[in-house]
Every structure is written in structure tokens, then in C-alpha cells.
Amino acid sequence: MNGPEPTLQARGLECVRSDSLLFSDLNFSVRAGQVLQIEGPNGSGKTSLLRILAGLTPPNDGEVLWRGENIVRRRFAFLSEVAYLGHQLGLKAELSVEENLRLSLALSGLSFSPVRLSEALQTVGLMGREDTPARALSAGQRQRITLARLILSTATLWILDEPFTALDSSGVSLVEMLLEAHLNHGGLAVLTSHQTVRLYGGLIKLALA
Amino acid sequence: MRQMASPFLALLKRDLLLAFRHRGELANPLLFFLIVVTLYPLGVSPEEALLRKIAPGVIWIAALLAALYSLENMFRSDFDDGSLEQMALSPYPLSLLVVAKVLAHWLVSGLPMLLLAPVLALFLSMPGPALAVLELTLLIGTPLLSLIGSIGVALTVGLRRGGILLTLLVLPLYIPVLIFATNAVSAAAAGMPVAGQLYFLAAMLVLALTLAPLATAAALRISLS
């Protein structure tokens, strides 16, 4: 399943949204140990680009390659290695923190022990909240649940859409710490953010007009 | 295969758990079914011969409308909170996850109607053999309604006010189910053979079970992109 080097490549991507061209002939590549930060004003197509990279939206032209192969053709292999964190968190308000995490990981065929769960919750600052319904948590805490999902997943490629929005300053440094650890384990990430991301290395930037 | 079962069962379990925590909403379509049927003797006529004659149609029309009414919730909340996105990003086939969702939907909306129908049938003085056939047609027919409906819901879930469109899309496909099912029950009441109609319904179920999840998964991907 693991082919050559984990690399995400974009080749000649083009995206048209409601009759206006957001970007065209977009080429880049992200290697293991690198974070690509996509910058640009509102409506410049950052989220659209992330959705194309995750395979949620087909591009109008061009292709996305993972480990050198088209992500549409190698769907299973690609999606087994991706964690996507979108604008909507994908959490059920009526379910507890643990139930939410169990389901979202089961969708990738993964499971975890109670020990790993409490470790992950401790890392994101939700210790002892396993049984709290997501509805009873604040926006920032809910975002922290999705960070716990990243910790528990085995994904190599993280695609994060505005991961800092609802987080306080300790949350921001938590995301940076998680990214750092992820890169050290040979992972890679693509994210959009208006903030400056402080990483020791491996940060590359792409500006959308 | 073992690996395939895990996301399927997890999703099924989650949907049943959510339904259980929303019991109030769950009861709505069922209550609708109950009210429509019980209003007939009051509104039309309490005459036994007439009720017996219209009973199959009344129960089936009420079941069909209740099914239609319950459809919209199938993917709505998952679409709104981003769970559907996560499902589409699962490495496992989306059509498999769709089957889990439809099954959960049927268990909480179709199955209770199946359990309620005999009581209502007695209420409309339906004879015994017809009652058995009514149950059979509901057993085959209600999953069929859920499966056909899932395609329509998947197509309209991205629209804010998809309700009317959903009805227009789905209703024509519900008509054959209604015709064969009521015809079978009426035939049974008259003491005639019903195997033909039941086989036809069963064939439609097999067809829907094979094709509807694929169509629904494709429609969901369109709604998401």
C-alpha cells in the first residue's frame, strides 16, 4: 500500500466557482516533513483548493498525485492516509466526546484503547471529558476534539482548513506542536490560515491571488 | 470482509443511538401514520363493508406519506455538521455507508409501521388473510421506500428548501410500489392468489438494494462538491 515517498503533487489544477476562475495551472509539491500554508484573501479559493486536494471536489482541470499516482485512481490507498479537518467539524452534538471519536475513526477502519483515548484527550486539554456530550462544550473545545482525532488517526497527510479559528493562544501552540511532531514522524500537511504559523522548519507558502 | 464490517456497524450503531436520543422526532412520522388511518372511519363512514374495501389503500397511502415525511432527516444533519464529508473521505465505499444509513432509517421509521399496521388493519376490520399479506407487502415495501427515497434525499440535501423537489422526484417512483402492494392486499381479501404481486415487489426490492446505494453515493458526492 505504501508506494514511493509520501509526496502530494498538484499538476495544472484549475478551479472555477460560479463562473469565475479562482486559479488555473497551479503546480506544487509537498514532501514528507513539509507543511504547505495556503494564503490569500477571502474568496480566493483556499477552501476549494483543500477540497480538491482531499478529493472531495473534482478539479476543473489538472490532477492531484499522491505518492506519484492519481488520487482518483488510487482512492482507497490515498484516503487511508488522509485526515481532513474542514470548516464543519463533523461532530454530533448529541454524542459524547468518546462516541464522536470512535465513529470518526471507525470510518477509516481504526479503533483505539481507552488508554490511548485518555492520553489524546490529555494532550488536547480535554482530560476526563470522555462522556461529555459535544453540545456541552465550547467552540474551542469542540475544535480540540478534532485535534484528538488527528492524534488518534494514522494519517500521513493532514489537510487542515483554518485549524486555528476557534482556538485560544494555548490551542494555537498546541496545533503547532502537533504539526511539529507530525512532521518529525515523516508526515506532511497542507493548511490554510491567516495567522503566522511558527514552525522550526519545513514551512512553505503558497499565495492565491 | 471483517474490515468492511467495522465502519458499517459503527455507523449503524451511531444512527440508532442518535435516533434513540431524539425519540420525540422519531415518533412524528409514526404518529402521522396512526392519525391518518384512524381519521378515515370518522371522516368517511364507519360502515364495515366500506372500510374493509378501502383498508389496503388507506393503510398503504398513510405508510407511503409517513415514509416520505421521515425521509428528509436521512442525510440532513450529517450534511449540516460535516459528518457527511467525513463519510465521503472514508476509504471504504460510500455506497456501503449509505446502506448502513438506509438500514438505520428503516429500522426506526419502517419497522415501527410494520408493527403498528396489524392494529390499524383490525381497526378497519380487515380479514385475517389480508392482514398477513398486508404485513408481507409492508415488509418488502417499506425498505423499498427507504431505498428509493435515499436517492432523492441525496440529490436534494444540498438545497435549502428541497422538500417539494424531493416529493416530486420520489413520488413517481413510489407509485408502482403502492399499486402492487394495495393490489396484493385487495386480492388476498377477495381470496385470490397474490404470489405474482409479491414476487414483483420482491424483484423491485432486489433491484433497489443493488442500484440505489450506488446512485445515492454518487448523488451525495455531487451534493458535496
Question: Which pLDDT score, from 0 to 100, does residue A145 have?
Answer: 93
Instruction: Flag if B83 and A93 touch (Cβ within 8 Å).
Output: no
Q: Which parts of A24-159 fold into alpha helices (H)? A: 46-54, 75-79, 97-106, 114-123, 139-152
Tens digit of each residue's pLDDT (9 = 90 or more) over A59-91: 999 999 998 888 888 888 899 899 999 888 889
pLDDT at A168 over 80: yes
Distance between CA atoms of A70 and A8, rounded to whole angstroms?
10
- Write down the residue that cell numbers 389503500 correspond to: B57
- Per-residue HEC secondary structure of A85-96 comes to ECCCCCCCCCCE
Comparing C-alpha atoms, which of A63, A56, A51 is closest to residue A14? Answer: A63
Instruction: Flag if A56 and B87 touch (Cβ within 8 Å).
Output: no
Tell me the CATH class for A1-81+155-209: alpha beta
Question: Which pLDDT score, from 0 to 100, does residue A18 have?
Answer: 83
pLDDT at A99 over 70: yes
Cell of A187: 508526515
**Which residue does chain A place closest to B12, by CA atoms?**
A103
B7 touches chain A (CB under 8 A): yes
Cell of A134: 459535544
Instruction: Flag if B14 and A99 touch (Cβ within 8 Å).
Output: yes
Least CB–CB distance from A104: residue in B86, B97, B225: B86
Instruction: Flag if B89 and A55 touch (Cβ within 8 Å).
Output: yes
Cell of B96: 456501503
The residue among A49, A103, A110, A152 with the most chain B CBs within 10 A of its CB, best to mutate, is A103
Residues A139-175 as b or e (16 or more Cβ within 10 Å = b): eebbbbbbbbbbbbbebbbbbbbbbbeebeeebbebb
Helix (H/G/I), strand (E/B), else coil: A130: coil
Question: Which pLDDT score, from 0 to 100, does residue B12 have?
Answer: 93
Cell of B98: 449509505
Q: Compute the nearest-CA separation of B68 from chain A (Å).
A: 24
B80 touches chain A (CB under 8 A): yes
Instruction: Give the single-character DSSP code of A4.
Output: S
Question: Which pLDDT score, from 0 to 100, does residue A206 have?
Answer: 85
Contact A99, B14 (CB under 8 A): yes
B11 touches chain A (CB under 8 A): yes
The residues, ordered by sequence, that sit 6+ positions from A95 with a Cβ below 8 Å of its Cβ are A103, A133, A134, B14, B17, B18
* pLDDT class of A3 with cuts at 50, 70, 90: low
Distance between CA atoms of B213 and B102, rounded to whole angstroms?
9
- Write down the residue that cell numbers 454530533 correspond to: A92
The residue among B83, B96, B220, B222 with the most chain A CBs within 10 A of its CB, best to mutate, is B83
Cell of B173: 417512483
- Within 8 A of B157 by CB-CB distance, chain A residues are none
Distance between CA atoms of B144 and B148, rounded to whole angstroms?
6
End-to-end CA distance of chain B: 30
Question: Which pLDDT score, from 0 to 100, does residue B2 have?
Answer: 45
Q: How many domains does chain B have?
A: 1
Distance between CA atoms of A107 and B92, rounded to whole angstroms?
7
Q: Where are the beta strands (DSSP E) in chain B?
A: none
**What ipTM was estimated for this complex?**
0.87
Instruction: Flag if B81 and A95 touch (Cβ within 8 Å).
Output: no
B14 touches chain A (CB under 8 A): yes
**Which residue does chain A place closest to B82, by CA atoms?**
A90
Helix (H/G/I), strand (E/B), else coil: A149: helix
Least CB–CB distance from A108: residue in B81, B85, B91: B91
Sign, Cα dihedral of A172, A177, A181, A186? positive
Q: Which helix (H) or strand (E) holds A82?
A: strand A82-85
The residues, ordered by sequence, that sit 6+ positions from A131 with a Cβ below 8 Å of its Cβ are A96, A97, A98
- Which one has a higher pLDDT value, A33 or A5? A33
Contact B72, B163 (CB under 8 A): yes
Q: What is the DSSP pairing of strand A20-31 with strand A188-192?
A: unpaired
pLDDT at A1 over 50: no
Q: Which residues of chain B have pLDDT under 50?
A: 1-2
The residues, ordered by sequence, that sit 6+ positions from B31 with a Cβ below 8 Å of its Cβ are none
The residue among B89, B96, B157, B223 with the most chain A CBs within 10 A of its CB, best to mutate, is B89
Question: How many contacts, defined by CB atoms under 8 Å, are there between A and B?
Answer: 81
Q: Compute the nearest-CA separation of A97 from chain B (Å).
A: 13
Distance between CA atoms of B98 and B154, rounded to whole angstroms?
10
Distance between CA atoms of B197 and B181, rounded to whole angstroms?
7
Residue boundaries of the structural domains of chain A:
1-81+155-209, 91-152
Instruction: Flag if B18 and A80 touch (Cβ within 8 Å).
Output: no
Question: Which pLDDT score, from 0 to 100, does residue A197 have?
Answer: 81
The helix/strand count (H/E) of chain A reads as: 6, 9
The percentage of residues in chain A with a pLDDT greater than 70, rounded to a whole number, is 99
